[in-house]
Structures are given as structure tokens and as C-alpha cells.
Chains A and B, each alone.
Chain A
Amino acid sequence: MALKDITLGQYFPGTSLIHRLDPRTKLIAVLLYIIALFVAKSFFSYGIVFAVLTLAISVSRVPFKSIVQGLKPVVFIVMITALLNLFYTPGEHEIFSFWIFTVHFEGVLSAFFMMMRILMLIAGTFLLTYTTSPIMLTDGLESLLNPLKKIRVPVHELAMMMSIALRFIPTLIEETDKIMSAQRARGADFESGNLLQRAKSLLPILVPLFISAFRRADELAIAMECRCYHGGEGRTRLRQLKYRRADWTVILFFLTFTAVVWALGRLGL
């Protein structure tokens, strides 16, 4: 498997309704979705959240397979969390026990919910990065955080840093891939040996990678200065963000959705 195949929340080009939404709308929707996910308490409300997620995925036309692929790296964390919840949730309905472990019915339930919560959280946020190009995402973030400028938060600089970082993820992955191939062509072996040997075998990748990252950073800084970049002050944009009707509809939909899930939680459902 080539490194390139790893999806790090990469942008998935498309023209679906979700792709065309204003990035701020999507950010707000994801935020509301996360709130809903954390106030959901019952099978019923989890069901609603799940339905909304499935709806969003199907509207976005991002292949279901890619979403699952994106979830793979967190499986380990999810398992640990589930196990901890399984054994450490106190309750009354004991299912079985061995040695110092006791499993309660409540534990099974809480482990299941926690698992669903993490998986759905990641799937939802992935959908955001799958359907929004990094540039749009940071534009949206900058615009949403703009009020913070009043209390001297360097919003523009943070957004610029973020967009540069995001911009370079694929480049660095490609670079890593190339360096790995080059070292493999010289007989480097990254797959065998014990932990120490494997860590050592990463050196021929990391050294060139760091050097090239610094070189790129240097070149980028010079290129930006050559084009008179001097921070956010007085800077205008080529792409103006604008809320459309679809955006208001989506925001309203998510507000209602989160309110419903919250109300259900209050009602103990």
C-alpha cells in the first residue's frame, strides 16, 4: 500500500449540495452535530444523530468506503475506550465477573454509546474535510473567528498557518513516499526487526524529510515576502463568502436537530 492511499481527512472533490455550501455553514453544522452527539443519551436520540449522519453522507456522494477507511486509524482508541467503559462502569445489573473484573449491563450500554459517539464524531468531522477544500475551510474559520480580533487574537495569522499546514500535508506525504522509495531502492527495510531497529530504520526517512520541510518553509517565506505579504491588515479576498438560501436552510435544520436531541435528553429519552 502506498502512503498516498492514507486519507488524512483529505478533500474529496465533488459538486454535491454539501460541497457547494458555504464553509461557515458546514462548520456551524458540524459544531451543532457534535453538540447533539454529546447530549444524546438514548438509543432513540443516537438513532436520530445516526440518521442525520447517513443522510449527510449520502447527499455528499462521498463513497461510504472512504469514510470507513478514514475511521481505521482510530479503531484502536475506540477499542480501548470501549473496554474501559465496559469494565469500569458501576451498575446494578451484573452480567458476569471474573478475577477483579465485573461487567454490568450499564457498562455494556455505556461502552456501546461511547464507541458510537467517537466513530460518529470522526465520521462527521471527516465529512467536513472531505467536502470542503482546505482553503475554503480556513477562510470560513477565519471569518467565523473574526470577532475575536477585537480582543487581539491573531485570527488571520492563525488561519494562514492552518492553511499552510493543511496545504503541505499532501506534499509532505508525497515527499515521504518518494524518500521511502528511494531508500528502499537502496535496500532499506522498514518492515522487519525489533522496535529499536525499526525506529533506527526511520532515520533515513526523517532526516531528508525534515531538511526538505525546512527548505520548503524557507522558500515559501521568501516567495510570500516577494509578493509583499505582511499579515492580514488591509488584505482583501478574491473569494467572498456569502450565505445563500441553502445555507440558512441547513443551519436551521441543524439548529432544530440539535434542539430536538437536547430536548429528548432532558425528557430522559
Chain B
Amino acid sequence: MEAILETKQLSHVYSAGTPFEHGALMDVDFTAYRGEYLGIIGHTGSGKSTLIQHLNGLLKPTSGQILFDGQDIWSDHATTRQTRFQVGLVFQYPEYQLFEETVYKDIAFGPKNMGLDEKEVDRRVRQAASFVGLHDDQMEKSPFELSGGQKRRVAIAGVIAMEPKVLILDEPTAGLDPVGVESILSNIRDYHNANRATIILVSHSMEEMARTVDRLVVVNNGQIPFQGSPRSVFQHGAELEEMGLGVPQMTRVFHRLRSLGVDIDPSVYTIAQAKAAILAKRGGL
């Protein structure tokens, strides 16, 4: 697989030289491959937010490098700015960044900053709006009239409209009801499938991750202790619990069954897998 985003020995220290000084990242080697759906998981304060803000050049590393398509994003000013368009970042609670008079104008903010012509901006705005399921009659409304969930869709559309090759979303489902969570996740999946874009999803919900991502990166104390397929990461159940992360409920149930003496493979993490494993154990129905 070909790497699209890489960090090399990335370190970041906040408030250097004051009593508040703390290292948020220490020599992190991180890779995102082209077209993959990657999950970053970590506890609050683990350094995951710091990591993603480096990936599109919002934070400058204290030491180390960030490569996009093999090029150092800090090599010159133009490259840094270009990277911000190529690597879209949706912050946590992005609805608090809306500011324009209409939904349309807000979504168009990113593409306009890219210097695209009006026709292209229009095409991108409409397409981004359809990805997140916004209707045409909502486009001329003020974003502040919308409900919380709809505001978030507008904010996500604002980043998708830049058509980034890598889309990073920091806890995009935080504070939404289960229906809202499902629909946002499926919107993101649509974008992933349509543009063969790389998605980096940040979350601390193991269930959500287990269902959605191809590969998981665990961030803890500014380092990456584990990465790999969800199945392989969840095998470190005990260590994950120690980091305050835990494993999906299904995995926990199966670990428990095993410790009770049932000879069963504990590396399941979805209900479908659990069903298959139990059926296999019973030798079919």
C-alpha cells in the first residue's frame, strides 16, 4: 500500500519554558495509506487531537517531519497552504465554527478560499450538501436556524466541499442521537466510496470504530503503542483497559467466556462476528 500521509519522529511540546510545559507527542511515526479508512483512538489528553492538527499543518512540529504525498508540508508557505486543502480537517463540534448568513455561503467558504471559479464552487457546494443529506430548500436558510445535527452536517459539508484527498474527522458523532450517529457515519462512508478518499476517523468509542474502520491506530501518552486491524488491536484488551479505552462489548463478552473455560476465539468485535463464532462453535444449527 502506498502512503499518503506520514509523520517521521514527530514531537510536539506545548508551552515550552513555562510551568505548563508538557510534551503532547513524542517521536511519533504515523502513516495513513491511500484510500484507507483509518481510525485513531485515544483517551482525552492522549495527544490524538495534537496529532491530527499536525497532519494538515495547523500545528508546527517541535521536531520531526510531516510528509504529504512524500513532500514535507513545511518546506514552504505555499505547500503548507495547499496541504490544508488536500487534507480536510473537521474539528470536534464543528457547528460552532459556522458564521455565514446562509448555509450555501458557509459551505462555499472553503472552496472560495481555494480560488476556484464560481461554477466549480457551486458544483462542489451542491455535491457536498448532497453527501451530508442537506436539501436544496435548506441552502438559503441561516445556519443558525437549523437544529444541532443539521448544523453539524453543514459544517462537515464545508470541509467536504474542498474535496480533500484525506478527510480527518475529530469525534464527528459526539453528542448526537443514535440515528444521527448512523447517518453521519454513512455520509462519511459515501464520501469515502465516491472519491476513493482516505478517511481518518478520531473517536473514543470502540464500538463505532470496530464497525467502521479498516485499520486502527491507538494513541496513548503521546505515543502509538498499537496499530493494525481492529481484530489485532482488540487482542490487547488488558492494556487498552489500562489506558482507559476498553474493548467493544462483544470482545469483552468473548474474553469473559474464554476465561470461564469456553474454548472460543475471543477476537470478535461485532454482533455478526459473534453470531458466526457461536454458530461455528455449536457446529451449525
Contact = CB atoms under 8 A, between A and B. Distances in A.
Contacts of B88: 185
Interface in A42-56: none
Contact of A12 (B19, B94, B114, B159): B19
Contact of A208 (B84, B98, B159, B162): B98
A66 interface: yes
B56 interface: yes
Contacts of B235: none
Nearest to A206: B99
B172 interface: no
Contacts of A266: none
B97 interface: yes
B147 interface: no
- B99, B110, B144: which has the most chain A beta carbons within 10 Å? B99
Contacts of A5: 15
Given A63-B18, A65-B17, A178-B91, A188 B96 contact: no
Given A4-B15, A186-B159, A181 B98 contact: no
A149 interface: no
A188 B109 CA distance: 8
Interface of A is mostly: helix
A268 interface: no
A189 B53 CA distance: 17
Nearest to A184: B58
B53 A208 contact: no
B199 to A, nearest CB: 16
Contacts of B15: 4-5
A224 interface: no
Contact of B109 (A12, A66, A186): A186
B149 to A, nearest CB: 17
Interface string A205-221: 11110011000000000
Nearest to A175: B96
A66 B113 contact: no
B247 interface: no
Contacts of B85: 187
A12 B15 CA distance: 13
Nearest to B18: A66
A205 B109 CA distance: 13
A65 B15 CA distance: 13
Given A4-B15, A182-B91, A187 B162 contact: yes
A212 B93 CA distance: 12
A14 B18 CA distance: 12
B81 interface: yes
Contacts of A65: 17
A208 B97 contact: yes
Chain B, interface size category, equals: 20 to 34
Contact of B84 (A14, A184, A206, A211): A184
A188 to B, nearest CB: 6
B158 interface: yes
A232 to B, nearest CB: 33
A4 B109 CA distance: 26
Given A65-B17, A186-B158, A186-B162, A212 B96 contact: yes
Nearest to B168: A185
A254 to B, nearest CB: 27
B81 A187 contact: yes
Interface string A193-210: 000000000011111100
B97 A183 contact: yes
Contacts of B96: 178-179, 208, 211-212
B218 interface: no
Contact of A181 (B19, B53, B113, B162): B53
Interface string B6-43: 00000000110111000000000000000000000000
B81 A181 contact: no
Contact of A179 (B81, B97, B159): B97
A73 interface: no
B165 to A, nearest CB: 14
A74 B143 CA distance: 39
Interface in A1-60: 4-5, 12-14
Nearest to B89: A185
Given A181-B91, A183-B109, A185-B159, 17 more contacts: A4-B14, A5-B15, A63-B17, A66-B18, A179-B96, A181-B53, A182-B97, A184-B58, A186-B113, A186-B162, A187-B84, A187-B85, A187-B110, A187-B162, A188-B113, A205-B99, A211-B144
**Shortest 8 CB-CB distances between A and B: which pairs?**
A187-B113, A207-B99, A186-B110, A182-B97, A185-B89, A182-B91, A204-B99, A181-B58
22 contacts: A63-B17, A179-B97, A181-B91, A182-B97, A184-B58, A184-B84, A185-B89, A185-B91, A186-B110, A186-B159, A187-B84, A187-B162, A188-B109, A188-B113, A189-B113, A203-B99, A204-B99, A204-B109, A207-B99, A208-B96, A208-B99, A211-B96
